[in-house]
Chain A
Amino acid sequence: MTPCIVTTGFFVLGRCGRQAVTSCPQCGRAVCAQHAAPQSGHCPECMAAHGYGSQNPFDPSWTGGYRRRFYERSSQTYSDTYWYSSFDEFDRGAFNPGDDYSYGEGDFGPDDGTGFVDS
């Protein structure tokens, strides 16, 4: 039997492990009947990602959405100059990992999930 390899759980994560019935057409992982999307058979992860549109600028679908949103939003500009350029090069420089004395995030590794308030 091929087990379903969808990640489940909220605080303690595990694998689903039920009998897989199909494989996701997008990422190819084995999915069970509970986790496969009704018509398309996508896995939950690809389904959810699809709902938020593509985050990849090289994806053709991204361009259309980006252009539309740009024109939608340009009528009410977020005061970009206010926050988004308020941190200048000098401010940012202090937050580079791996500099001398930067505590904790000596290098940016896969196990750094560090938030701002690191407890």
Chain B
Amino acid sequence: MTGGAGAGHRAAYFAFDRFPSSKGSAVHIAQMADELFASFGGGLLGVLGGGGLPRYQREGDREIARFDAQIPNLIDRAEAFSGWVADHLEPHRETLEVCHVRDPWSALPVVALPGRRRVVYEVNGLPSIEMAHTWPWASKAALGKIRELERFCLERSDAVVVPSRVIGAAVRGLGVPEERIRLVPNGADVRERPERPSGAPERYLVYVGALQPWQGLDVLMRAFARLADLEGLRLVVCASVPERRAKPVRRMAERLGVAGRVDWRFALPHHEVAAWLAHAEVSVAPLTGCARNLDQGCAPLKVIESMAAGVPVVASDLPAVRELMADGEHGRLVPADRPAELARAVRILLEYPEEAAAMGERARRRIADGLTWAHSRAELASVYRAVMAGGRDARSARDVPDTPGAGRDVPGARDARNAGAGAAHRAER
């Protein structure tokens, strides 16, 4: 294993997520990985590829490797990714000092790698909670095994980074001690007001983000149906997902009779979304009150980015949102899953444009004063410093040998290489 891998990297960042993409997670990965590589003089970024992205890229002292095996079953794919991560750690084993991971399947080969290195585990969500929503057929037993895997990786990490206090509480619930959990909030960049996007309606509400059930698009559509009397008001949905994933939501809009007043934009690049936000009357974040948002928690970038754009936000009154904005100061918080309440709050904001503009301005200031990416990155850099300074004794005290006499090896490349074949067999059956 010589030649191409060149000098071993000191840092690596792994995420089971496509990068770059139009999703909020990609923005987050870009900021976090950038900070990691700035702190350690470059490094290796291991992410998902496909969709025409190159398999390997070199940018100066940074290397991007992308996993693009087409394995339909998610668990099979995740395990194959684990093996792939193990393979990509191998050439850097001697030099690696810090590994930053975002999910249990990236973390597993890292925490299982023999030798000593620091692991920073960034928890933006817990698959054991969130997958119950995305994969309704998943059994309690299967989710329990995923939770076990999370616990296994979390207890072997040196620092656990969370973007919100609610997620911090969920991680504490998995048995991670308080002193190892570090809050690094999400951020946004406060920029000059961008040009009005071409084709933008005169007055519009905006929703930005993905379209899963917990985002509350159904609540928003119902609320919008109640605003039918407002002349010329339109709703712009800037979805971060491709068009074919919007089918259920569009059908619902048709049923409610609002489809004619809704404009759709799909997978826009980040700077275009900023323009749509900046010129909206109100930005809406109607997150539902489900386990994913309440027990696991979230740190909705859509709220932070709307605030940074200086547009008043109407959002659901959830603990995770309350961390970011205050009711009546930066926008309005309304009870989750209540279309009538949501519609009323929007209507009142539209009635009082000066007050709404003042809220937008206050929101913008709040971001500028403490929630920019620069703030988050400074926090993260301090986490890295603390982790590097942390005594090795603390780490070794935590190293529980799993089975007496058996060191841990990386999940065998065997599994990884056969995972694809196995999945193919399963698909045929």
Contact = CB atoms under 8 A, between A and B. Distances in A.
Interface stretch (B133-141, B169-177, B199-207): B133-141
Given A87-B142, A91-B75, A91-B139, A47 B245 contact: no
A118 B23 contact: yes
Interface residues of A, number: 63
A101 B137 CA distance: 8
B244 to A, nearest CB: 7
A95 B406 contact: no
A116 B407 contact: no
A2 interface: no
A77 B406 contact: yes
B255 interface: no
B95 interface: no
B73 A96 contact: yes
Given A86-B145, A108-B70, A118 B136 contact: no
Main DSSP-derived SS at the A contact region: loop
Interface in B141-162: 141-142, 145, 148-149
B17 A115 contact: yes
B414 A76 contact: no
B236 interface: no
Contacts of A112: 50
Contacts of B124: 117, 119
A70 B213 CA distance: 45
Given A55-B87, A104-B212, A8 B59 contact: yes
B18 A113 contact: yes
Interface string B395-420: 00000001100111111111101000
B425 to A, nearest CB: 11
B228 interface: no
B127 A117 contact: yes
Nearest to B25: A119
A118 B74 CA distance: 13
B382 to A, nearest CB: 23
A116 B123 CA distance: 11
Interface string A84-97: 10110111111111
A44 B57 contact: yes
A52 B4 contact: yes
B16 A116 contact: yes
B412 A80 contact: yes
A71 interface: no
Contacts of B411: 78, 80, 83-84
B264 interface: no
A113 B56 contact: no
B243 to A, nearest CB: 10
Given A47-B3, A52-B65, A76-B114, A115 B48 contact: yes
Contacts of A52: 1, 4-5, 65, 87-88, 90-91
A94 B135 CA distance: 7
Contacts of B54: 7, 45
A113 B412 contact: no
A25 interface: no
Nearest to A50: B4
A108 B213 contact: no
A94 B137 contact: yes
B103 A102 contact: no
Given A91-B141, A106-B245, A118 B212 contact: yes
Contacts of A83: 108, 149, 411
Given A51-B3, A114-B18, 16 more contacts: A46-B56, A48-B58, A51-B5, A55-B87, A55-B417, A57-B417, A83-B411, A87-B75, A99-B137, A113-B19, A115-B16, A115-B103, A116-B103, A117-B126, A118-B130, A119-B210
29 contacts: A7-B53, A7-B57, A9-B59, A44-B58, A45-B57, A57-B417, A65-B1, A66-B413, A73-B409, A76-B408, A77-B406, A84-B411, A87-B142, A90-B142, A91-B145, A92-B426, A96-B73, A98-B72, A101-B136, A102-B137, A106-B245, A109-B242, A111-B242, A113-B50, A115-B18, A115-B102, A117-B130, A119-B298, A119-B300
Interface of B: 1-6, 15-21, 23-27, 30, 34, 48, 50-59, 62-65, 70, 72-76, 78-79, 84, 87-88, 90-91, 102-103, 105, 108, 112, 114, 124-127, 130-131, 133-139, 141-142, 145, 148-149, 209-210, 212-213, 241-242, 244-245, 267, 269, 298, 300-301, 402-403, 406-415, 417, 426
